[in-house]
Amino acid sequence: MQFPAAQIALIIGGKIDGDPTVAVSSFGKIEEATKGQLAFLANQKYEEHLYTTQASVIIINETQELKQTIAATLIRVPDAYSAFATLLSKYQEIASQQLIGVQEPSYISKTAKLGEKIFIGAFAYLGENVCIGNHVKIFPNVYIGDNVKIGDHSVLHPGVKIYHDCVIGKNVTIHAGTVIGSDGFGFAPQADGSFKKVPQIGNVVVEDFVEIGANAAIDRATIGSTLIKSGAKLDNLIQIAHNVEVGNNTVIAAQVGVSGSTKIGNNVMIGGQAGLAGHLQIADHSKINGQSGVSKSIKTPNSAVTGSPAFEYTNALRSQAISRKLPEIEKRLKELENLVKQFMAEKV
């Protein structure tokens, strides 16, 4: 497929600087793009490539000042990175429209309800009373348990497992290998030192416009629902325990673990490899630095924490700066002690 610059500008709301008839058929990084490809410049670290790239069309910020003439057609937009993301989404949407129908072999229960223009890949399994919305894409080897509901325009990539009774909203993307609705980690200690499993009879509810990365695990609630609210974005290899709530538009990077019944607010940002203890409250707009260990609730909105145990970000940086100076401080303290001893000896 080829797209002229004029059509691309219309899709992303940009202004053309150059030949609007120039067409592209693929994408390329600005430092590697060749003729017939589209690139973008959002990070000024790559500005030098703007003048050497062979790309035919380049999306740039409308504030970008040119230091020399450029052969490529430019499309100026308020935010080049956001515009490029919009364009990729549109391209992906066009490509996915070609995927319609049910591949064989696959198993679909007679009680399952299927929406319009869906795709079901080979070796998929759809259990009893499953309800699939319109334009849903279910790739090969996906398992969907009994009574699961999946909203319109959602995409389940290969090997996704959705356990019984879970609910997936509209425009949700779940990447390969992720498991939704496995049992929460609930075991009651017994007098003899053994552990008795506590049945996990709740479910997981994933609201609209959520994206979940590959090989993540989101446990079902003991009672009620583990809840991922609208707009949340979860990276690869994340563990969300039973009865956790993840707020609207919260983003969580890879390898984060969230313990049971913790409630994470809206627009929270959690860095990679952070760990959150159970039964905590994380206030809206909090920022948790990567590898932080959060053992207490964060009750003040817009807080930033780091370290393990995590505490206020600015104070943590000061503490780290002081810790690096401890050898020097120790030396000065010893010198001060010697001066005090000398003074006391002279006084006597």
Question: Residue 117 and residue 64: Cα distance in Å, rounded?
Answer: 42
Q: Are residues 78 and 145 in the same domain?
A: no
Instruction: Supply the mean pLDDT for the chain.
Output: 94
Give the per-residue SS3 of the chain.
CCEEHHHHHHHHCCEEECCCCCEECEECCCCCCCCCEEEEECCHHHHHHHHCCCCCEEEEECCCCCCCCCCCEEEEECCHHHHHHHHHHHHHHHHHCCCCEECCCCEECCCCEECCCCEECCCCEECCCCEECCCCEECCCCEECCCCEECCCCEECCCCEECCCCEECCCCEECCCCEEEECCCCEEECCCCCEEECCCCCEEEECCCCEECCCCEEECCCCCEEEECCCCEECCCCEECCCCEECCCCEECCCCEECCCCEECCCCEECCCCEECCCCEECCCCEECCCCEECCCECCCCCEEECCCCEEHHHHHHHHHHHHCHHHHHHHHHHHHHHHHHHHHHHC
pLDDT at 97: 72
- Mean pLDDT (whole number) for 284-304: 96
Position 316 scores a pLDDT of: 76
Buried b (16+ CB within 10 A) or exposed e, 96-129: eeebeeeeeebebeeebebeeebbbbebbbbbee
Q: What is the pLDDT of residue 185?
A: 95
Question: 140 and 123 in contact (C-beta within 8 Å)?
Answer: yes
Say if residue 75 is in the same domain as residue 110.
Answer: no
For 10, 34, 96, 111, 284, the CA distances from 4, given in Å and listed in that order, are 10, 16, 21, 47, 43
Query: Quick one: pLDDT at residue 348?
Result: 65
Give the per-residue pLDDT at 340.
Answer: 87
Indicate whether 78 and 189 sit together in one domain: no
pLDDT for the residue 246: 98
Is the pLDDT at 210 greater than 90? The verdict is yes
Domain coverage including residue 58: 3-96
Residues 50, 184 within the same domain: no
Mean pLDDT in residue range 100-121: 96
- CATH number of the CATH domain containing 80: 3.40.1390.10
CATH number of the domain residue 175 falls in: 2.160.10.10
Q: What is the mean pLDDT of residues 256-267?
A: 98
Tell me the percentage of the chain whose pLDDT exceeds 70: 99
In this structure, the answer to whether residues 147 and 25 fall within a common structural domain is: no
Write down the pLDDT at residue 314: 82
Contact 241, 221 (CB under 8 A): no
Which range has the worst mean pLDDT, 22-31, 310-319, 335-344?
310-319
Those residues with Cβ within 8 angstroms of residue 32's Cβ, 6 or more apart along the chain or in another chain: none
- Please check whether residues 119 and 77 belong to one and the same domain: no
Q: What is the average pLDDT across 146-150?
A: 98
- Identify whether residues 331 and 279 lie together within a single domain: no
Query: What are the tokens at 102?
Result: 């049910």
Is 251 found in the same domain as 158?
yes
End-to-end alpha-carbon separation of the chain, Å? 95
Q: Is the pLDDT of residue 96 over 90?
A: no
Task: Give how many domains the chain has, as a whole number.
Answer: 3
What pLDDT score does 94 carry? 77
Question: Cα–Cα distance between 96 and 83 in angstroms, integer?
Answer: 20
40 with 62, same domain: the answer is yes
Q: Quick: pLDDT tens for 226-237.
A: 999 999 999 999
Pick the catalytic residue: 153, 175, 242, 285?
Answer: 242
- Look at residue 259 and tell me whether its pLDDT is greater than 90: yes
Indicate whether 155 and 239 sit together in one domain: yes
**Residue pLDDT, tens place only, 61-79:** 999 999 999 999 999 999 9
What is the rounded distance in angstroms from the CA atom of residue 291 to the CA atom of residue 294? 9
Q: Which two tokens stand for residue 326?
A: 């401890």
> Worst-scoring range by mean pLDDT, 12-26, 93-107, 211-225, 278-292?
93-107
Are both 310 and 333 inside the same structural domain?
no
Report residue 339 as tokens. Answer: 């001066």
Could you confirm whether 242 is annotated as catalytic? yes
Put simply, whether the predicted model's pTM sits higher than 0.85 gets the answer: no
Give φ, ψ of 48 to 5 degrees: -55, -30
**Whether pLDDT at 7 is above 90:** yes
From 10, 78, 81, select the one nearest 39 (Cα to Cα): 81
Average pLDDT (114-125) is 97
The confidence score (pLDDT) of residue 339 equals 87
Tell me how crowded residue 79 is: count the other CB atoms within 10 A of its CB: 14
Look at residue 219 and tell me whether its pLDDT is greater than 90. yes
Which residues, including other chains, have CB under 8 Å from residue 184's CB and lie 6 or more apart? 200, 202, 219, 220, 221, 222, 226, 241, 242, 243, 260
Of the candidate ranges 36-40, 96-100, 122-126, the one whose mean pLDDT is the lowest: 96-100
Residue 343 is predicted with a pLDDT of 82
63 and 130 part of one domain: no
Boundary-marking domain end, from 56, 73, 96: 96
